[in-house]
C-alpha cells in the first residue's frame, strides 16, 4: 500500500485538519539542493488527531538539509491544521545519484560496481542508526548521535497560546488522583462564581469518566449543532458541555487512545459556541497525562485549583499535579482540602477520617494559598447525585464553597481599562 493510500486510511475526521492540503504539501515538496521529490522518499505516513508522523529515506549527503526539510514541512502543514510534525529519517547507505551511485537502492552487500561495493563495506561499520527527527521531551530523553543529531522543534508554551475570543479566564480544577471529589468541587465552585456576578461556563474534560451532566441535572441531553459547532447546554444559567452529552447514555464507555481523547477535548473547546464568559471552569481528569499536556500547550489557562484530601496517598498525587503545572508555567491558584472532617449526623461527634493538615502541608511546601476546607457531608453527595449541587440546594457546605469562590474571584486578573475610550 502506498503512503498516500496509508494516509487516507488513517486520516483523522477532525474538522481542524485538511486532508487534501496535506496531500498537496507532501506531493509537491522538493528536497533542498536537488530535484528529488519528497513523495518518492516517503515510506510511511500516520495521522493522529493533529499530529502527523512521517518516515522518509535520505542519504548521507543530505544530512545538513534535514533541519530545513523539517521546518519547511512543519510551517506548510501548520496551515493545514497539523500542530506537530514528527519526522523519522532512515539513512540509506548507497544508491544516491548525486554521490556517483547507479541510482538504484541496493540491499546490504549489493552494488552496481566493485568500487561502490568497497565503499559500502567501508561505511558499514560507521553508518549511524535510524534517527528520530521528532522533538524529544524531558520525560523521555533519547540517545543522540553527535554526527547526526535529531531535528527538534520546541513545544508550544502557555505564553504563545492565543486567548479565546469570548473567554476571559480559564480555570482548571485538578487532582492527582480520582475519588477526591474534584467534579463535585468543580460544579459548586462554578455555581458559586456565578452567584458572585461572573458569567461562567463549565467544560468537562474528564473524557473517560464524565460526571458533570449528572451533577448538573442534564444527563441524557444532546447539544444542538449550529454552523458545524456545538451549542452548549444550559444548566442553572451556565453554559455547559461534556463528552457525556455526546455519548447518548451513562453506559457507553469512552474507549479511546490518547490522541483521540485529546482531539475530542480540543473540539469541545474550540468548536463550541461559547457565549461571552468571564470564567470557563474545566473539570480535569485525574493524573498527569495527555490531556493535561494538551491543555498546557493549546488552551490559554489563567490558573489551576488543586483538590485533595488530607490523606497521604492523595497528597502524593496532588504534589505531582502541582509539579506538572509549575513545569508548564500554569499558576496554581491554591489548594482545596476536601473531606477534611466528618460530623456524625446522629451524635454530632467530629472526626478527621482522612487525617489532618494535608492542605496546610501543600500550602507551605509550594507557597500557595489554602483556599478552604470542605467537610465529608452526606448532603453534598446526595445533592450532587440529584443534580442539585450544594450551592443551589443551600446545604451546610454552601457557605464554604462561596468563601472559596470569593478567593478565586479576587485572584483573577483584572482587565485593564482602555484610557482612550470615553464610555
**Residue set of the binding site for ATP:** 176-183
Q: Integer distance in angstroms from the first to the last C-alpha of the chain?
A: 64
Task: Kindly report the backbone phi and psi dihedral angles of residue 280, in degrees, each rounded to the nearest multiple of 5, phi listed first.
Answer: -110, 115
Which runs of consecutive H residues, i.e. helices, occur in 51-170? 66-78, 114-124
One-character DSSP codes across 325-380:
HHHTT--EEEEEE-S--EE-TTT--EE-TT-S-HHHHHHHHHT--EEEE----HHH
Task: Kindly report the backbone phi and psi dihedral angles of residue 203, in degrees, each rounded to the nearest multiple of 5, phi listed first.
Answer: -120, 125
Q: Is 387 left (phi over 0), alpha (psi -120 to 50) or beta?
A: left
Give me 79's grid cell: 496551515
Long-range contact set of residues 16-25: C-beta below 8 Å, sequence gap at least 24: 16/50, 16/81, 16/266, 16/267, 16/270, 17/47, 17/49, 17/50, 17/80, 17/81, 17/82, 18/80, 18/81, 21/79, 21/80, 22/47, 22/52, 22/77, 22/80, 22/82, 25/73, 25/76, 25/77, 25/80
* Residue list for the binding site: 176-183
Using alpha carbons, select from 346, 347, 403, 394 the residue that is nearest to residue 374.
Answer: 403
Amino acid at each position: 500500500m502506498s503512503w498516500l493510500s496509508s494516509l487516507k486510511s488513517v486520516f483523522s475526521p477532525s474538522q481542524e485538519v485538511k486532508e487534501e492540503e496535506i496531500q498537496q504539501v507532501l506531493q509537491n515538496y522538493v528536497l533542498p539542493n536537488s530535484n528529488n521529490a519528497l513523495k518518492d522518499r516517503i515510506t510511511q505516513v500516520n495521522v493522529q488527531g493533529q499530529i502527523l508522523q512521517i518516515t522518509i529515506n535520505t542519504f548521507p549527503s543530505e544530512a545538513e538539509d534535514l533541519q530545513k526539510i523539517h521546518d519547511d514541512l512543519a510551517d506548510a502543514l501548520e496551515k493545514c491544521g497539523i500542530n506537530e510534525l514528527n519526522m523519522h529519517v532512515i539513512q540509506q547507505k548507497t544508491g544516491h545519484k548525486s554521490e556517483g551511485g547507479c541510482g538504484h537502492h541496493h540491499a546490504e552487500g549489493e552494488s552496481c560496481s566493485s568500487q561502490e561495493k568497497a565503499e559500502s563495506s567501508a561505511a558499514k561499520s560507521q553508518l549511524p542508526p535510524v534517527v528520530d527527527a521528532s522533538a524529544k521531551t524531558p520525560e523521555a530523553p533519547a540517545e543522540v548521535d553527535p554526527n547526526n543529531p535529531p531535528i527538534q522543534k520546541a513545544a508550544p508554551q502557555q505564553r504563545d497560546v492565543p486567548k479565546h475570543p469570548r473567554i476571559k479566564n480559564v480555570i482548571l480544577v485538578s487532582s492527582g488522583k480520582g475519588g477526591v471529589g474534584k467534579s463535585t468541587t468543580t460544579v459548586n465552585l462554578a455555581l458559586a462564581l456565578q452567584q458572585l456576578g461572573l458569567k461562567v461556563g463549565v467544560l468537562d474534560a474528564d473524557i473517560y469518566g464524565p460526571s458533570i451532566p449528572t451533577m448538573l441535572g442534564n444527563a441524557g441531553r444532546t447539544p444542538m449543532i449550529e454552523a458545524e459547532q456545538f451549542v452548549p447546554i444550559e444548566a442553572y444559567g451556565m453554559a455547559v458541555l461534556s463528552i457525556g452529552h455526546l455519548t447518548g447514555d451513562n453506559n457507553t464507555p469512552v474507549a479511546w487512545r490518547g490522541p483521540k481523547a485529546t482531539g475530542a477535548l480540543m473540539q469541545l473547546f474550540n468548536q463550541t459556541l461559547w457565549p461571552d464568559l468571564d470564567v470557563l471552569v474545566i473539570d480535569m481528569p485525574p493524573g498527569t497525562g495527555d490531556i493535561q499536556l494538551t491543555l498546557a500547550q493549546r488552551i490559554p489557562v489563567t490558573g489551576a485549583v488543586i483538590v485533595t484530601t488530607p490523606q497521604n496517598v492523595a497528597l502524593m498525587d496532588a504534589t505531582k499535579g502541582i509539579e506538572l503545572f509549575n513545569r508548564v508555567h500554569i499558576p496554581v491558584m491554591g489548594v482545596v482540602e476536601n473531606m477534611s472532617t466528618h460530623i456524625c449526623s446522629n451524635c454530632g461527634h467530629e472526626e478527621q477520617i482522612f487525617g489532618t493538615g494535608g492542605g496546610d502541608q501543600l500550602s507551605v511546601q509550594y507557597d500557595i494559598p489554602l483556599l478552604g476546607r470542605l467537610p465529608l457531608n452526606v448532603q453534598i453527595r446526595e445533592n450532587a447525585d440529584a443534580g442539585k449541587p450544594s450551592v443551589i440546594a443551600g446545604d451546610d457546605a454552601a457557605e464554604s464553597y462561596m468563601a472559596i469562590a470569593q478567593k478565586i474571584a479576587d485572584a483573577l486578573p483584572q482587565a485593564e481599562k482602555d484610557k482612550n475610550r470615553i464610555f
